[in-house]
Structure 1
Amino acid sequence: MTNIHVLDPGASPLDYYGFELRRHRETAGLTQRQLGDIVSYTGSLVGQIETARKLPTPEFSERVDAALGTGGLLSRLVELVMRSQLPAWFRQVAELQARATEIYSFETHMIHGLLQTEAYARAVLGALDQSNLDDRTAVRLARQSIFEKEEPPVFWAVLSEAALYQETGGLDTMRGQLAHLLAFENNPRINIQVMPFSTGTHAGLQGAFDLYRFASDPTISYTEGYGSGHPTANPDTVKDCSLRYDHLQASALSLRESAELIRRLMEERYGEQRDSDGDPVA
């Protein structure tokens, strides 16, 4: 007789997801393999997700919702699952990002997580720790679902030019990442400015920070260290960061100039290198 792993749906959002997935699958009279065939995943993966040994993805959830007629249940649950997998210190920040109507970010050395491609995120997360890298990358990318809401936040990013020069993950990864930034060029809700080296001294030299603004709650300022985050609604801190951000935006390149710089770097620094005969250089 097959030993069926019994989940406690109250143990965690991941266990609850697995419990609901199994319940709806069994109600539909399908085996794990049959459901996998329908949604183009393996039956083994379905089983791993049902037993909370593997994280579901938004795509998997959407396909299963459609196949089992769950009314979007798993797609709603997967957001809770992904958030529960974030480091404990970052969960509050993810909730702030999800609730914010406006997000303002200044980054000094890398692309903000809400703008990262999968390859770039993998390179950043795997720099020191390769364990569970697929799942940790999926969790980071899931945060970007805030831009798919019916009323997504306005996101404004000022990136130091150094973040564009910091080769993360190799040429292909950087080329793809810069192309991703350019994809937002005509999106009025996602705006990207570059702080060029030529600016010299500017208001962000003390480090990266975010500002989260809400429909009715006080504005939150956020800074981050190694393994810790520091959100605060202290009026003096928020006022200082807001003033700094105004100056950063004024000192940075315009949206059009920023896109031109990103495009030039993508072609000149990260473009495919060719030899004198026009063949790609290995």
Structure 2
Amino acid sequence: MQQASNSNDDTRPKDRHWFWYAFGMLVGLFGLYGLVSYVVLPALWHHYEHNPKLEHSPKTTQTAEGISGDPLNIGFVGTTAEVVQMLLAAGWYPADPITLRSSAGIAKSVLLKHSYPTAPVSSLYLWRRKQDLAFELPVGNSAKQRHHLRLWESKDLTSDRRPLWLGSATFDQSVELSHNTGQITHHIDPNIDLERDSLIKSIAYTHQIVSLYQVTGVGATWQAHNGGGDKYYTDGELTICVLSTNSIAQTKPYSQSPNPQPVEIKNQVWSLLRHLLKS
């Protein structure tokens, strides 16, 4: 009987040892969690720290009627010439202004599948003014589908000596009636994050992006609508691309239209570029 009692006494110190070891591990894990979650990660979090002025700037565009339009999801730090030069080198086309002739041209392109890579885009508004620049990347022979980008220049929001351009990049996937006004309009693909990332990928081929950072834009959403009543979903991030100040070299466009580019369009585009570089 005495031997059995001694055997039980021998196991108790070992049990206490493992208990305190497990307890120490648990305290250590909670301590590590607290250190990482409340000290390390907040110190590494950089959003508005890159440009605090963006925190209170508008997050979406507006239509002429004051309806909330497409959200802002892209931005560039650079001069007008640098932004235009980069987009041209990436294979994008400047959109024609809206006139009777260009309106007829886009209608012909949509109905008859006639190539019109510089078709006009509708006006959206930021800071009570329509876009300063509009570019597009055609898909196929019709203006029915196209990648397009609207940009607004701000000299007040820049964290650099150069202007900051805020923009909205979306993909026109069809031409139908507006869900809100009944007007004929393009409808966008709801995955605007994919379009934002696709745009960045296309201009990365020009080697003019020297750094990227993100700030919170419209905020994460799965049920938002633009001015045409189109649904869209997004992680809510606005990606800012800081452009190089070096002159750009001729690069192969990221994406090209199936048809050869008309000579007159090329001349028009490069004439615009030369004008901007001289100004």
Scaled to the shorter chain, the TM-score interval is under 0.3
Bigger proportion of residues as helix: 1
Instruction: Tell me the TM-score normalized by structure 1.
Output: 0.25
Structure label with greater radius of gyration: 2
Bigger proportion of residues as strand: 2
Instruction: Tell me the TM-score normalized by structure 2.
Output: 0.25
